[in-house]
Structure 1
Amino acid sequence: MSAANTAIDQFPLIPRDALFGNPTRAQGKISPDGTWLSWLAPLDGTLNIWLAPRDNPDDAKAITSSTDRPIRDHFWAPDGKSVGYIQDKGGDENFLLYRIDIASGEEVCLTPFEETRVRIVGASETILDEVLVGLNNRDAQFHDVHRLNLNTGALELVYENNAYAGFMSDDSLTLRMAMAQNEAGGTDYFRFSDGAFSDEPFESTAMEDALTTSPSGYTVDGSILYWMDSRGRDTAALYAQDTATGERTLIAEDDKADISGAMQDQKTGEIQAYAVNYLKTEWTAIDPEMKASLDWLGTQFDGEYGIMSRTEDDRTWIVWNDPVGDPVASHIYDRDASTLTPFYVTRPELEGAPLQRLHPVEITSRDGLTLPSYLTLPAGSDANGNGRPSAPVPMVLLVHGGPWARDGYGFNSTHQMLANRGYAVLSVNFRGSTGFGKSFLNAANKQWGLKMHDDLIDAVDWAVSEGIAVKDKVAIMGGSYGGYATLAGLAFTPDVFACGVDIVGPSNLETLLGTIPPYWAPLVKTFHERMGNPETEEGLALLKAASPLHKADQIIKPLLIAQGANDPRVKQDESDQIVGAMKDAGIPVTYVLYPDEGHGFAKPANSIAFFAVAENFLAECIGGRAEPLGDVLKPSTAEIVEGEDHVQGLKAALA
């Protein structure tokens, strides 16, 4: 064991519960009139919504009583009379909309339909008791648009949809636009008037711009439509389009990254500030008063910060701060008084824990692309603080899902656990990751298992050459696409990784595309153009070649797989297939199945149980530390389908 790795023993183990259990509080918000605070917190072990008067936050009560699945998101109705949330069943992603009346405490389901997924189509700054919602209860492929009264629950059909993938409305809750995929794999945008959509689109994108161009919303008076737009350029810029003349005005751009977000005036809808996220998020204010507030907040915080909630008069904000090396905290910001009042620390049990900094790094791929990445080192390994260990350490390559998503800067529970156990942790924005311009994104088209995988191997080679990683002690781990990358890593490059941890990763791209959720069908051409079209001979060959299932017999290193039985995106059969193939080839594999989960872990007990198995699996493979399993499996629903003998302590824990 290297000297750098031995240093980790000076630091205490951070308990899994503190990293993956319920937060003490999360997602703090303030009512539109500023009189109430709300947040998520456990009630009898399950996350629920809590409410307290702003002037007496200690007088808090739970206003929901979920006992099974945690509530993971909530919002205030525009009129402040109710709080809402969406919830599915067992991870099936058929989300329904629920309302809690603030005055009476009554809770009702506003969309009481079976096998239905609700979408919010539009909300308003002036119509405070209604929203537009999309419901696919008539046809699972298409969401019909309804006007929903949030107080009475009355639903009125606005538009029966048999063609479009999405819609946009203005502040009057009038449909203004619909989106549909075109033959090129891009998007066509159609205007709505007189109860129908135009035959010809008023804007279109080619496939190369489809994931980097989209409308961002109208001003309240409907005169301006904002766009994040990469057409005719590489990175997505922020434009304002005059809805009467079609004239476009450039507001903001960045050479390295797409414009990643914006803040709008709540009364006018005009852009007040915009964000760029390359390695870190940087906000630029256009509005002078917004600039003064953001500049002041920047003097108060280390690390990242942002705004979670704003009152209707915009004088009070709920602000979060992620110091990265300390737990996330939230504050109540009085803009007039320039004061910050502590609201809560999300995970106070981590205060004083040996949390590690996240180091943004740039890695160059073999064909010259810059891969924005993030590195965390074990405590005590970086004696001179230069972002490199004194001696190489075991490493986990942690691959993000999507793949059309990205890793970012900020507190990461998985990074912290793995670093605390003695590993360097490297997360790479490989080609196909979003946020870095369309050239970077499109460089991944039809490159699953090819250049996308090469980027990950190049990152491993970089870490070894930089003296970060021990060459024969590198694991690969990830969820969704990251799970696929894990399977591909062990199957296509069996000598690079010492072991792999796959969470809900597809093993057979042909069956993956054949079982996508029905509401993704209007966008299926995106998958065909970016992965391979199984309806063509060439596309099918490409998908088969990129499927780890067909090379399962080449996997020679230990593999741990986790799967949710109700996953609508990556069906259980994706894990069953490769586990069966490995068994047929006589290759050891450990398979953990969760009968009450979907695409990942919603229940903390299941998350804690899985990471307990994973850290003990990794300890056996590449030699880090691990908190013993103990009784961690008992509160979870984990079923060990295969391979209880291949993880240290697992057989004893089951007994």
Structure 2
Amino acid sequence: MARPLPALLLIAGALQTCAQQQEAPLIPRERFFTFTERNTITASPDLDRVYFREGPDTVVHVWSTGTNAPLEDLAFPAPVLAFTPTKDGLLAAYRRGEGLHLEHRTGSGSTAFALPAGCERLRFVTTAVGQPERHLLELVCADSTVTGFHVLDLEAGTLVRRYSPQAPGQLQFDGDLRLVAGTARSSSAGNTLMLYHEAQDRWDTLRAHPWTPDLFLGGFSSVVSVSADGGSVYFTSNAEVDKARLYRYDRATGDTTELARDERADMLPFGLSFDARHRPTSAVALYAATHRHVVDPTWRADLDRVAGMLNGDLSFIASSSDDRRWLVRELTGGPSRILLFDRTSGELRFLFSEQPELAGERLATRHARTIRSFDGTQLPAHVYLPAGSDADGDGVPDRPLPTVIYVHGGPWAGISQWNVPFFWRNFQFLADRGHAVINAEFRGTTGLGKHITDLGDKA
């Protein structure tokens, strides 16, 4: 049986001997467990309007970044299955009666677009660069000759099928909505990154990966973007290396260039920031704290500026079509704060909280820690301390506290629990009741490289 982490137990021992005397009223339990967080947050191309879900699934909420206040909610006659912003409104799909309906809401009214009969599912894929009226949709219909990828032109009022269904998944398109790349599952259940040649209607292998446990979570090797001109394919890969890195493949020359790596953790196929031409400007590895690696040097000064103004970690939602404004999240181990950053003025403005029910409450502070194990292995952890229990902010409580050590499942489900409400609401609830909480990683987890995962097989 594997021995426990002595360093972890020392931390727990220092925290656990007596309960914290409550100096403030408890936050009502229901405020933590509303399950109505503002989610599916997205924005118009100019970032003038932010859209999100909250509460009834027939409603999409709208927030004006100009007035920094909510606008009139968009209510639909049936639950909204998918939505995407347009340059002047919102496209939404919903099921009513026997079929799917597609509706475009703008300030001047509503336009319905006819969908083929028998369509069962719709997904908004992407929007053309420089042509915000053109949207790519994936339709799944009873008629196989209709199923596939369709271009919707809002100005022309047309819906035209462009591609049939493709064997690879996670498809990536260029700025003109042309298919460029995707990810296929190999016969050995590994991820194979693929390139599409439209003239020959042919797929070729870009990079193949054998099965590894991180594929239980979708894998850390994936195509993440294609440049607007279609000339560059950006992907993460852990082929022949311990930890996934970010690469750029040049379609004209066939050359592959490494763009980013982290010595402690995998570069993730999500959490990146992109410019308006779909080129990565920064990428992320999670090692308790978010470690953001700059890819585009012209973004470095502003990335540093924003990070310096936050009390937590920086997470990206969107960049405006002129790259001058960013919609970002602040991650603190509690409800995310949504903010707008203006690169010209340098202003960072708070818009709203992910969970307004907890606004103004004294929540736990979260501290990123590195724990040294008995054999020298370094493992990340988060320590949550009750509000008011750490006067000097050093991450150690002023007096011992009862302590909960949280160990996630899997054991391959690493990194998924760091910043999502499903987990942090429990950590914050326990901290509000006077407990310290240690959210610890361990051997066998994913996101810290294949070596750490393999150590889970050893006693």
RMSD over aligned CA atoms reads: 4.0
Q: What is the match of residue 265 of structure 1?
A: 275
Larger Rg, first or second structure (1 or 2): 1
5 Å-filtered alignment, 1:486-525, equals: none
Shift of 1:62: 0.5
Kindly provide the CA deviation profile for residues 141-194 of structure 1, in whole angstroms up to 9, marking residues without a partner as x. xx9531141634725251144x44443322222222343222222133444335
SS in 1 for 2:75: coil
Shift of 1:312: 1.2
Shift of 1:416: 0.5
Q: What is the match of residue 437 of structure 2?
A: 425
SS in 2 for 1:295: helix
Tell me: CA distance 1:214–1:318, structure 2 relative to 1, closer, same or farther (3 Å).
Answer: closer
Shift of 1:84: 4.0
1:275 correspondence with 2:287: no
SS in 1 for 2:298: helix
SS in 1 for 2:229: coil
1:17 correspondence with 2:30: yes
1:7 correspondence with 2:20: yes
**Distance in 1 of aligned mates of 2:224 and 2:18:** 48
1:226 correspondence with 2:234: yes
Tell me: CA distance 1:150–1:317, structure 2 relative to 1, closer, same or farther (3 Å).
Answer: same
5 Å-filtered alignment, 1:567-646, equals: none
1:149 correspondence with 2:156: no
Confirm or deny: 8 A CA contact 2:20 2:401 kept in the other structure.
no
Q: What is the match of residue 631 of structure 1?
A: none
Shift of 1:370: 4.0
Of 232, 245, 248, 1:237 maps to 245
Kindly provide the CA deviation profile for residues 348-407 of structure 1, in whole angstroms up to 9, marking residues without a partner as x. 553453311223334566777544222324456668855368446252635257944523
Kindly provide the CA deviation profile for residues 430-472 of structure 1, in whole angstroms up to 9, marking residues without a partner as x. 445432123334556xx7xxx7xx8xxxxxxxxxxxxxxxxxx
**Distance in 2 of aligned mates of 1:401 and 1:97:** 39
Give 2:418's aligned amino acid: G
Confirm or deny: 8 A CA contact 1:118 1:136 kept in the other structure.
yes
Tell me: CA distance 1:157–1:264, structure 2 relative to 1, closer, same or farther (3 Å).
Answer: closer
SS in 2 for 1:206: coil
Q: What is the match of residue 49 of structure 1?
A: 60
Shift of 1:256: 0.8
SS in 2 for 1:9: coil
Give 1:214's aligned amino acid: S
Tell me: CA distance 1:383–1:321, structure 2 relative to 1, closer, same or farther (3 Å).
Answer: closer
1:342 correspondence with 2:350: yes
**Distance in 2 of aligned mates of 1:361 and 1:154:** 52
Give 1:303's aligned amino acid: G
Shift of 1:55: 3.6
Instruction: Tell me how many residue pairs correspond in the alignment.
Output: 429
Give 1:76's aligned amino acid: P
Judge which range, 411-420 or 350-359, deviates more.
350-359
Q: What is the match of residue 103 of structure 1?
A: 107
Report the structure, 1 or 2, having the larger strand content: 2
Structure 1: which 5+ runs fail to align?
A: 90-95, 455-655
**Distance in 1 of aligned mates of 2:246 and 2:407:** 32
Shift of 1:14: 0.9
SS in 2 for 1:296: helix
Confirm or deny: 8 A CA contact 2:40 2:53 kept in the other structure.
no
Tell me: CA distance 1:296–1:395, structure 2 relative to 1, closer, same or farther (3 Å).
Answer: closer
Tell me: CA distance 1:82–1:405, structure 2 relative to 1, closer, same or farther (3 Å).
Answer: farther
Confirm or deny: 8 A CA contact 2:19 2:400 kept in the other structure.
no
Tell me: CA distance 1:164–1:128, structure 2 relative to 1, closer, same or farther (3 Å).
Answer: same
1:186 correspondence with 2:190: yes
Give 1:184's aligned amino acid: S
**Distance in 1 of aligned mates of 2:316 and 2:391:** 36
**Distance in 1 of aligned mates of 2:444 and 2:136:** 33
Q: What is the match of residue 327 of structure 2?
A: 318
Tell me: CA distance 1:61–1:158, structure 2 relative to 1, closer, same or farther (3 Å).
Answer: same
**Distance in 2 of aligned mates of 1:387 and 1:40:** 37
Tell me: CA distance 1:181–1:22, structure 2 relative to 1, closer, same or farther (3 Å).
Answer: closer
Confirm or deny: 8 A CA contact 2:370 2:380 kept in the other structure.
yes
SS in 2 for 1:207: coil
Shift of 1:296: 1.6
SS in 2 for 1:283: strand
Report the structure, 1 or 2, having the larger helix content: 1
Confirm or deny: 8 A CA contact 2:82 2:123 kept in the other structure.
no
Confirm or deny: 8 A CA contact 1:97 1:118 kept in the other structure.
no
Confirm or deny: 8 A CA contact 1:145 1:157 kept in the other structure.
yes
Q: What is the match of residue 82 of structure 1?
A: 89
Confirm or deny: 8 A CA contact 2:333 2:418 kept in the other structure.
no
Q: What is the match of residue 32 of structure 1?
A: 45
Question: TM-score normalized by structure 1?
Answer: 0.56
SS in 2 for 1:257: coil
State the identity as a percent: 23
Q: What is the match of residue 447 of structure 2?
A: 435
SS in 1 for 2:308: helix
Tell me: CA distance 1:145–1:169, structure 2 relative to 1, closer, same or farther (3 Å).
Answer: farther
Of 222, 227, 233, 1:214 maps to 222
1:159 correspondence with 2:164: yes
SS in 2 for 1:415: helix
Shift of 1:345: 3.6
Confirm or deny: 8 A CA contact 2:274 2:319 kept in the other structure.
no
SS in 2 for 1:361: strand
Confirm or deny: 8 A CA contact 1:377 1:389 kept in the other structure.
no
**Distance in 2 of aligned mates of 1:323 and 1:298:** 12
**Distance in 2 of aligned mates of 1:115 and 1:390:** 61
SS in 2 for 1:106: strand
Structure 2: which 5+ runs fail to align?
A: 1-14
